[in-house]
Amino acid sequence: MKEYEFLKIDLAEAVCTLTISAPKSLNALNSNLLKEMDDFLTNLDPDIRVLIITGDGEKSFVAGADISEMQPLNAEEGERFGAIGAAVFRKIETLPIPVIAAVNGFALGGGCELALACDIRLAASNAKFGQPEVGLGIIPGFSGTYRLAKIAGMGVAKELIFSARAIKADEALRVGLVNAVYEPEDLMKEAVRLAHRIVKNAPIAVRYAKECINEEYDLPADEAIAFESRMFGKCFATKDQKIGMTAFLSKQDAHFINE
C-alpha cells in the first residue's frame, strides 16, 4: 500500500483506518496534506468496505486548516484553497462506502468540516467541535456552512459559526452533531466494532443505501420515493439479495460475495 508523509493507513478485514498525522501542528490541514488525502481517496483500495478517519495523537482529530499557509493569501488564492478542501471533503461524502469519523480531540474549523463530511461521527469524551473562522476574519471554507446546517440544524449552525464557540462532545451529541460519545481509550475500539458490524451486511445494499440517503435528501418527496424504489429494485438483480434472503429463510448466517 502506498505510503504518505501525512497519512497513516491500516487495512484489516475490509476496514481501513486512515490516520491524519501532522502532530506538530495538531494535524492541521495544509495543501500537501489535502493532496495526499485526495490521492488516497482517488485510488481507494477496492477491498475497503468501511473507512475510519481519525487523528494522530490524543489531543487532536484535526485542529483546523493551516493558518500560517492561509494568512498571506489574496482573494483568488483563498478561493482556490477553499475549493481544494471542499473537493476533497465532497469526495469523502460521496464515496460508495460508509465513512466513520473517530473524533479523538479537537475538531475545529477544517477538522469539524472533515467530520461533517463523514457518514457517521463518533467522538471521544474529550473532543471539541467548532467553527472559529469568523474570529480570524474568514468564514468556514470547506463546506462547513452547508453541512453543519444540514446535520445540526440552521439555528445551531448559525449560533456556532457566528459566535465561533466550541462545544464539548456531550453538547455535540445533544444537538445531533455526533452519533455517540465514548471514553478516549474506547473510541477506536467502538469505531472498529461498528465498522465490522457494517461489513457483515451485503456490501452492494450498503452502497445503494448510502446513495439513496445522499441523493434523496434535497429531493421533493415524490422524487425521493421514486429514486428509492428504483434502487430497491436494483437490489434484486444482485446475487447477494438471493444469498441474504435464502440464508434468512433457512435460518443460517449469510455470507455475501459482493455481486
pLDDT single digits (tens) 221-231:
999 999 999 99
DSSP state of 25: G
Categorize the per-residue pLDDT at 17 as very low, low, confident or very high, splitting at 50, 70 and 90: very high
| Average pLDDT over all residues of the chain | 97
Residues with a known catalytic role? 113, 133
Express each pLDDT in 19-75 by its tens digit: 999 999 999 999 999 999 999 999 999 999 999 999 999 899 999 999 999 999 999
Categorize the per-residue pLDDT at 193 as very low, low, confident or very high, splitting at 50, 70 and 90: very high
Express each pLDDT in 89-132 by its tens digit: 999 999 999 999 999 999 999 999 999 999 999 999 999 999 99
Coil vs helix vs strand at 256: coil
pLDDT, residue 153, reads: 97
pLDDT, residue 192, reads: 98
In words, the CATH class of domain 203-249 is mainly alpha
Report the C-alpha gap between 90 and 247 in whole angstroms: 37
Length of the chain: 259
For the chain, domain boundaries = 7-199, 203-249
pLDDT, residue 1, reads: 77
Residue in 119, 238, 232 with CA at minimum distance from that of residue 224: 232
Coil vs helix vs strand at 52: strand
From the candidate CATH numbers 3.30.70.120, 3.40.190.10, 2.60.120.10, 3.90.226.10, the one assigned to the domain spanning 7-199: 3.90.226.10
Whole-structure pTM over 0.85, yes or no?
A: yes
- Distance (Å) of CA 12 to CA 51, 70, 203: 11, 36, 16
Strand partners, 51: 16, 99
pLDDT, residue 54, reads: 98
DSSP H stretches of helix in the chain: 31-42, 67-70, 75-93, 110-117, 144-152, 154-163, 169-174, 187-199, 203-216, 221-235, 239-249
Express each pLDDT in 83-93 by its tens digit: 999 999 999 99
Categorize the per-residue pLDDT at 149 as very low, low, confident or very high, splitting at 50, 70 and 90: very high
Report the C-alpha gap between 12 and 177 in whole angstroms: 28
